[in-house]
Amino acid sequence: MTFKETLRYWLSQLKFTWPLVKRNLSIHYAWLIWALPFELISILVAVASWIYFGRMFHAFPEALAVYGGDYTSYIIIGVFAYNILHETMVIPYRAVVEILTSSFSEMGHRISLRDYLIMAGANPWIVAFVSIILTYIRYSIYILLYLVAVHFFLGFKLSPNANYLGVVIALILGLIAVIGIGLISASMIWIARAWHGTEPITWTIGVLTSLVSSVYFPAEILPEWLKMIAYNLPHTYAIEAIKLALLAGYQNSALMPYFIRLLGYCLVLMPIGIILLRIANNIAKRRGGI
């Protein structure tokens, strides 16, 4: 084979392999742009969380006094409330991304799950909604098992006057508020093309709430600028209301400021989420998506 024939052969092979090379490059580029920066910032926030752990134990022991002073109970309830609020917030985005990126294989033929559902006459939005419900039921079971486990193996102290109705009200209002955020997040798949697995809105809120929303330590010990962020997130009001109801025995009249603020978030975030999701649906139809 002459040099010219060899060169022509490799150029012809390059024509077929270049699309695969571009695909691999796009995957690595997406990871660098969407995943790596978020992971680095998450590490920094985790470090900051441990710093404030130290501050609370050494300089602010009185911060837990209103919650009964038992840090084990404080953190167990905080982690429980944060997890259920956070998972509720991210479920809509995950369900829609799963439909968009998953595939269906039958008799050696593979098509996208979205196309399969459309060909089968199924409404992808309804399938996404059912997926959200099933995922939420499954996660609720995990939460229940978590609470049972920590009760028997770690133990936590509740107030003798624990207000369980207040917990239910705060949790329901908090869940409605974060569902609104979740709908906004799902709409970003088309509005901002954020389908790579990390959506900036819920990621940012998730990172902030783990640091500032009274999950591991009271928001009162934070600097003023972080405290301002904390009290502009619905998670903070829901988590604090739940802890005050269970650990300090706050009754509904005392929790009313938390309920009112959470209701305000519900009335604002849910309509915005629905409107943006409708806008995203119109964009998807023009692009040939869901």
Cβ atoms of 236 and 213 within 8 Å: the answer is yes
pLDDT above 70 (res 191): yes
pLDDT band at 92 (very low <50, low <70, confident <90, very high): confident
Long-range contacts of 143-151 (CB under 8 A, 24+ apart): 143/80, 143/83, 143/84, 146/80, 146/83, 147/80, 150/76
Cα(217)–Cα(112) distance, integer angstroms? 45
Cα(176)–Cα(264) distance, integer angstroms? 11
pLDDT above 60 (res 50): no
Cα(208)–Cα(203) distance, integer angstroms? 9
Rounded to a whole number of angstroms, the distance between the first and last alpha carbons of the chain is 52
Cβ atoms of 180 and 270 within 8 Å: the answer is yes
Nearest to 89 by CA among 209, 170, 190: 209
pLDDT above 80 (res 161): yes
Cα(241)–Cα(170) distance, integer angstroms? 6
pLDDT average, residue stretch 267-284 = 89
Instruction: Write down the pTM of the prediction.
Output: 0.73
Q: For residue range 253-264, what is the model confidence (pLDDT) as tens digits?
A: 999 999 999 999
Determine how many CB atoms are found less than 10 A away from the CB of residue 12: 10
Q: pLDDT value at position 104?
A: 64
Domain locations along the chain: 1-59, 63-287
Q: For residue range 19-49, what is the model confidence (pLDDT) as tens digits?
A: 545 545 555 455 555 555 666 676 566 556 6
Query: What are the respective helix, strand and coil percentages of the chain, to the nearest 5?
Result: 80, 5, 15
Residues paired with residue 157 on neighbouring β-strands, in sequence order = none
Residue 211 in tokens:
């640091």
pLDDT average, residue stretch 209-238 = 89
Q: Are strands 103-106 and 109-112 parallel, antiparallel or unpaired?
A: antiparallel
- DSSP-derived 3-state class of residue 62: helix
Cβ atoms of 161 and 68 within 8 Å: the answer is no
The amino acid that residue 289 corresponds to is: G
- DSSP-derived 3-state class of residue 104: strand
Q: For residue range 118-137, what is the model confidence (pLDDT) as tens digits?
A: 776 666 777 777 777 777 77
Give the distance between the most distant pair of CA atoms in the chain: 91
Q: pLDDT value at position 266?
A: 96
pLDDT above 50 (res 16): no
Strands of 47-195, DSSP E: 103-106, 109-112
pLDDT average, residue stretch 266-276 = 94
Cβ atoms of 73 and 247 within 8 Å: the answer is yes
